[in-house]
Amino acid sequence: MAKALNAGLRRSLDDDDRVMLMGEDIGRLGGVFRVTDQLQAEFGADRVVDTPLAESGIIGTAIGLAMRGYRPVCEIQFDGFIYPAFDQIVSQLAKIHTRTEGAVTVPLTIRVPYGGGIGAVEHHSESPEAYFAHTAGLRVVTCSNPDDAFGMIQQAIRSDDPVLFFEPKRRYWDRADVDLDAAPTVGLYDARVVIAGSDLTVVAYGPMVATALAAAKEAASEGTSIEVIDLRSLSPIDFDTIDRSVAKTGRLVVVHEASVFLGIGAEIAARISERCFFQLEAPVLRVGGYATPYPPSKVEQYYLPDVDRVLDAIDRSLAVE
C-alpha cells in the first residue's frame, strides 16, 4: 500500500504542476513510512517541501496556497499529531467555500496515517476520523488495499473539496497487484461490495476490512454466508449500497477500530435502522474500540477488534429470530 500511495502521488505531481506535497520529514527522508520516498529528488524541494514541526502552520500555509490556486497535499506524520491543526481544519478549511458563497475553493488533501496494530507509543495509534466526518464541509475517505490507495489518492487530489485521506498504517505493508495504467473504476465516495453473501452484512473500512474478510472466511467454513462492504468514504457515506445489502441479508454488523461510542458505526446503525426497519431481522450491532484512551502497545491486542469479536457479533445477530 505504501508503494501504491507513492505511485499515486507521483502520478498526481506529474499530471498537474499545481500539486505540491508538504509535511515533516517527507522530502529527504521520504516520510516515516517512506510513502513519499524519492519524490523530492524527482520533483524538487519546491514541490515536495520539508516543513517545520508545526501542524497548525502546515495546514494554515496549505490553506493559503489552495486559495491561490495550488493543490497542496499535507502529510500528518501520525494520527495523534493532527490535533494542533484541528482549529485550522474545522474552523477555516471546512468553512471557506461556504463563507465566500462558493467564490473560493480549497482543494487541499490531508493525508493521515491512522489506527493501531504496529506496537507504537502514545499518540501514534489513534482513530480520529469521526471528529472530521462530523464536520460539514470536509470530505473524509479511507483506503483499505493497495489498488484503492493508488486510485483514491489521485481522486482526492483532483477534488475541489478539502479531503481528509486516512491511511491505515498497519496495512502499509499489505501486498496486491496494482495496474498503474488503469483509471479508478469506483467513485471516491462510493462503497464497494468486496464479497457477496446472503445471511448477514458486515460493513467495515480502512484497517478493519481485512479483519472482516477473515471473519467472513471463518464463518463460511461453518456454513454462514457473509457479505462484506468496504465503506471507503466516511463523509459522505454511501448508504444506498448498504441499503441494498441489508434488504438482501436482513442483518448488519458494523466494524471499526475507533471507539464504538459516538463512532461512525453509530451513524450507520441509526440510518439503517430508519431506512431498513422492515427489512431488518435483528438489531444493527457494532464492533469497535472501547471508550478509553488508546492503551500501551503491550496490551493493544485487547483493545483492537479481532476476528473473534466480529464472529461473536455475527453469532449474536444470527441468534435473533
| DSSP notation for 74-104 | EE-SSGGG-GGGHHIIIIIITTHHHHTTTS-
* Residue 4 neighbours by CB distance under 10 Å: 25
The three cell numbers of residue 34 are 517512506
Q: Is the pLDDT of residue 67 over 90?
A: yes
Domain with CATH 3.40.50.970 in the chain: 2-171
Q: Is the pLDDT of residue 321 over 90?
A: no
- Strands 19-23, 252-259: pairing is unpaired
The SS3 of residue 171 is helix
- Strands 109-114, 19-23: pairing is unpaired
- For the domain made up of 192-318, give the CATH fold: Rossmann fold (3.40.50)
- Mean pLDDT value of segment 277-294: 96
Give catalytic status of residue 256 as yes or no.
no
Helix, strand, coil shares of the chain, percent, nearest 5, are 40, 20, 40
Domain with CATH 3.40.50.920 in the chain: 192-318
Q: What does the pLDDT look like over 48-59, one tens digit per residue?
A: 999 999 999 999
Q: Is the pLDDT of residue 81 over 90?
A: yes
Q: How far apart are the first and last CA of the chain?
A: 41
Asked: is 2-171 a CATH 3.20.20.80 domain? The reply is: no
